Structure 1
Amino acid sequence: MTVRLVDGVTIVLEGQCEIDDADPLLRHLLAAPHATVDWRLCQGAHTAIIQILLASKAVVHGLPDSIFLQRNVAPLVKKAQD
């Protein structure tokens, strides 16, 4: 699974996070609002995943394993956290 909750407080995004992963991500964030997101293994993310990260203002750790996401999305996610 590309979206999984580990240790009850960390949501890991791994590989290609597709549209089907948006619902589990949202459910994890709603169930654990103080959870952090680790996307260091994320190689791609559907726009729904990115929208959830932006809207939730989730604390995201590390940089994704995608140059595109690093350059274009990570700065927006970081700004949304502030």
Structure 2
Amino acid sequence: MAIRFEDATARFDGACAAEEALPLLEWLEATPGARVDLSGCTALHTSLLQVLLAVRPQVAAGPEEDFLRRWVAPLLG
């Protein structure tokens, strides 16, 4: 999986695919104070973006990849 769940932080690494959306949603719902680290993410499937927009977890680290930094990060606050 390109998303690793460590304590209260979900770390996104590389290309993050659609099949990770349900596990991410379940983890976010079950983890109080959940945060996401997008610094290692190089591609984000829109299903994952929808989960992030719906749940609005704290962003511990924004994406470094140009497209994600420019267009996705502002949506996540």
Q: Same fold judged by TM-score > 0.5?
A: yes
**TM-score scaled by structure 2?**
0.92
Which residue in the other structure is 2:64 paired with?
65
1:18 aligned to 2:32? no
Shift of 1:65: 3.1
Task: Give CA deviations for 1:4-32 in whole Å, capped at 9, x if unaligned.
Answer: 211x2111111101101111111110110
Kindly provide the amino acid, as one letter, of the partner of residue 60 in structure 1: V
Matched, 1:3 2:7: no
Percent of aligned positions with the same letter in both sequences? 40
Establish whether residue 30 from structure 1 lines up as the match of residue 65 from structure 2. Answer: no
- Distance (whole Å) between structure 1 residues aligned to residue 47 and residue 72 of structure 2: 13
Equivalent position SS for 2:38? strand
The residue type equivalent to 1:10 in the other structure is T
Q: CA deviation at 1:52?
A: 0.8
TM-score scaled by length of structure 1: 0.87
- Give the letter for the 2:2 counterpart: T
Large movers: runs of 4+ above 2 Å: none
The root-mean-square deviation of aligned C-alpha atoms, in Å, is 1.0
Which runs of 5 or more residues in structure 2 are unaligned?
none
